[in-house]
Amino acid sequence: MNNPKISIITISYNNKVDIEDTIKSIVNQKYLNKEYLIIDGGSKDGTLNIINNYCDKIDYFVSEPDRGISDAFNKGIKAATGDYIVLINAGDMLTKDALQDFADEYQSGYDVIKGNTIRWNPNTNFSSVEKPVTYYSKIPFNFLICHQSTYISKVAYEKIGGYNVKLKIVMDFDMMLRLTNVGMKFYHVDKNLAIFRMGGLSQQSKKVRIKEMKFCMENNGRNMLQTFIFTSYVRTRTIIRNLLDRINPDLKNIIITNKIK
């Protein structure tokens, strides 16, 4: 399979400011063996007007209330027919030739294929590159997920199930632990496949994020000591990142990633 079918899922809710950038980055991909699905949560702000402008290039679209991000992901995954599925939320983007780059580097036999993600601060125009983790240890001190450039096979989702609807922020972290627990095979493609627009929900709700990460550790077979060490690390890391934010919002990205602008 030299050209796997790729399903791109965008979830949105009241995101008329950014969603057109997302849509354009996907429909303008030259790679042909793809399908595009948009799962909207019932937007009221004009988002649907923008989506309708591209209706001839969208393969599946629904706009209805949902139970949050995980529920929207699951709706898209259920409807997707591709060999691999990638989640590009409203506001984020694929790089220019992301799908072709993925196909060029594709190797069969892997359940999860991860590329690099560019972190972009639209307020300062600072960009840096994150390289994802492909193994999540019992205490995953390095847990960079880069979900915007993570391609998970449809078969893997069918085997393991969808995202946990109880989780509002770190459902992708939980998914990586679950995939690791059952022995799914990971592979890293050293190409920049997506752009993450900074300032989303996971960055704004730090206390909830830590609480949910604790739940993920406990729910995925980590013992009390492993969970305590990990959550203590995350709290310390969060404090340091908050301090760096006060000095310079891009400073933490200069330290932990590869600066490109």
Summarize the confidence of residues 204-227 as an average pLDDT. 91
pLDDT score of 204 more than 50: no
The torsion defined by the Cα of 37, 146, 134 and 142, in degrees rounded to 10, comes to -150
Domain 6-259: which CATH number of 3.40.50.720, 1.20.58.390, 3.30.2320.50, 3.90.550.10: 3.90.550.10
pLDDT score of 163 more than 50: yes
Residue 9: name the closest of 23, 24, 30, 28 by CA.
23
pLDDT score of 248 more than 80: no
In this structure, are residues 74 and 165 in contact, taking their beta carbons and an 8 Å threshold? yes
Give the residue with greater pLDDT, 1 vs 213: 213
pLDDT score of 255 more than 60: no
Q: For residue 191, how many C-alpha atoms fall within 13 Å in the half-sphere facing its CB?
A: 19
In this structure, are residues 148 and 137 in contact, taking their beta carbons and an 8 Å threshold? no
pLDDT value for 1? 58
pLDDT score of 125 more than 90: no
The torsion defined by the Cα of 200, 203, 204 and 205, in degrees rounded to 10, comes to 120
- Strand 126-130 versus strand 112-121 pairing type: antiparallel
Model confidence at 205, in pLDDT bands (50, 70, 90)? low
Cβ neighbours of residue 165 closer than 8 Å, sequence gap 6 or more: 67, 68, 70, 71, 74
For helices 224-247 and 206-219, the axis angle rounded to 10 degrees is 160
In tens, the pLDDT along 1-36 reads 579 999 999 999 999 999 999 999 999 999 999 999
In tens, the pLDDT along 237-246 reads 888 877 876 7
Summarize the confidence of residues 199-206 as an average pLDDT. 56
Average pLDDT over the chain reads 90
pLDDT value for 200? 52
Give the residue with greater pLDDT, 198 vs 54: 54
In tens, the pLDDT along 76-113 reads 999 999 999 999 999 999 999 999 999 999 999 999 99
pLDDT value for 2? 76
pLDDT value for 195? 96
Supply 101's token pair.
Answer: 């780059």
Q: How far is CA 58 from CA 23, 47, 68, 144, 173, in A?
A: 9, 15, 22, 30, 28
Summarize the confidence of residues 221-246 as an average pLDDT. 89
pLDDT value for 233? 94
In this structure, are residues 197 and 120 in contact, taking their beta carbons and an 8 Å threshold? yes
pLDDT score of 261 more than 80: no
What number of other Cβ atoms are within 10 A of residue 232's Cβ? Answer: 11
Model confidence at 250, in pLDDT bands (50, 70, 90)? low
Model confidence at 253, in pLDDT bands (50, 70, 90)? low
pLDDT value for 251? 54
pLDDT score of 124 more than 90: no
